[in-house]
């Protein structure tokens, strides 16, 4: 998953590990308000860009998003990772919107299949009056961006994939769909611990870097705003069998950004 200046991977959980989370203790439990969340830069973002919510399909949930920049320019739509929110892209919007770019930082409602996401994305882009877009996807957001480009090649002009992956086979639980189908019924605190314990393996490295530690605190703070339904849908999409096959896009229209450390997925 992607946060400002840092990336990490979801733990590859099997059936037993999924239930061991009841007794696990994440190293990065919430510590109150994060320094980034209280920074002048983030406050400037919140005061400059209005949070919007839009229901666009039969799904009960709403798209949460920030829309900034000239409305007569192409859209760069930013999709966060499994732990991310629309706020994860606040620096992107603060830096690019004043330069004349239209940036939409969005988080989708709870979708449990790629097909549902594609249909919801169709309706969301229609509501934005965006016939085609440039996509920036982080981690899970990058996987969803690729899947949308495969399903709707004429609606995606280019992609930026940040610490993302084309196959989620590494995240599939050993027990298969029996585990992923249970996410919808799994208590909120268990799902949250599944994500928080992903940081445990690098607790020392994170603590050694103030910048990385601040970024992790910000992600944990944003994670608190996500409901059980949102966490369940993201884990389901992240861990259900999926490969990006059949992508028809020129290589010059795809930009790949990776943090070359042991936490980044190739």
The pLDDT of 171-184, averaged and rounded, is: 65
| Beta carbons within 8 Å of 84's beta carbon, 6+ residues apart | 1, 2, 3, 107, 138, 139, 141, 219, 222
> Tens digits of per-residue pLDDT, 79-120?
999 889 999 999 999 999 999 999 999 999 999 999 999 999
- pLDDT, residue 7, reads 38
The span from the CA of 104 to the CA of 259, in Å, is 24
Going by pLDDT thresholds of 50, 70 and 90, the confidence category of residue 154 is very high
Strands (E), the chain: 2-3, 6-7, 51-54, 63-68, 75-79, 102-107, 133-138, 156-162, 254-257
> What is the structure's pLDDT at 240?
84
Position with higher pLDDT, 197 vs 260: 197
| Whole-number pLDDT of residue 187 | 92
Question: Of residues 135 and 207, which shows the higher confidence score?
Answer: 135
Which pLDDT belongs to residue 175? 42
Q: Is the pLDDT of residue 221 over 90?
A: no
Distance, CA of 177 to CA of 240 (rounded, Å)? 7
Mean pLDDT of 138-166: 94
% residues pLDDT > 90 (the chain): 50
Q: Which pLDDT score, from 0 to 100, does residue 220 have?
A: 85
The string of DSSP codes covering 247-265 is: ----GGGEEEE---STTS-
Min mean pLDDT across 46-60, 171-185, 224-238 is at 171-185
Check residue 249 and give its pLDDT: 92
pLDDT in tens, 16-59: 344 344 344 444 555 568 888 888 999 999 999 999 999 987 66
Average pLDDT for residues 141-159, to the nearest whole number? 96
């Amino acid at each position: 998953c992607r946060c400002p200046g840092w990336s990490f991977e979801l733990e590859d959980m099997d059936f037993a590990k999924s239930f061991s989370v009841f007794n696990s203790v994440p190293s990065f439990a919430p510590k109150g308000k994060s320094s980034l969340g209280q920074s002048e830069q983030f406050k400037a973002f919140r005061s400059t860009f209005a949070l919007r919510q839009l229901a666009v399909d039969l799904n009960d949930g709403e798209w949460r998003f920030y829309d900034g920049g000239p409305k007569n320019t192409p859209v760069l739509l930013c999709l966060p990772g499994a732990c991310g929110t629309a706020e994860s892209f606040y620096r992107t919007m603060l830096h690019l919107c004043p330069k004349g770019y239209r940036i939409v930082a969005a988080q989708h409602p709870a979708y449990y299949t790629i097909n549902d996401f594609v249909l919801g994305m169709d309706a969301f882009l229609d509501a934005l009056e965006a016939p085609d877009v440039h996509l920036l996807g982080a981690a899970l957001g990058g996987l969803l961006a690729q899947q949308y480009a495969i399903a709707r090649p004429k609606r995606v002009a280019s992609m930026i994939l940040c610490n993302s992956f084309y196959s989620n086979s590494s995240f599939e639980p050993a027990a298969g769909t029996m585990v992923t189908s249970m996410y919808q019924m799994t208590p909120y605190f268990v799902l949250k611990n599944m994500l928080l314990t992903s940081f445990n393996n690098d607790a020392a490295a994170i603590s050694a870097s103030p910048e990385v530690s601040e970024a992790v605190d910000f992600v944990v703070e944003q994670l608190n705003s996500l409901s059980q339904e949102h966490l369940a849908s993201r884990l389901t999409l992240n861990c259900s069998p999926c490969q990006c096959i059949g992508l028809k896009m020129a290589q010059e229209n795809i930009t790949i950004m990776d943090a070359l450390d042991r936490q980044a997925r190739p």
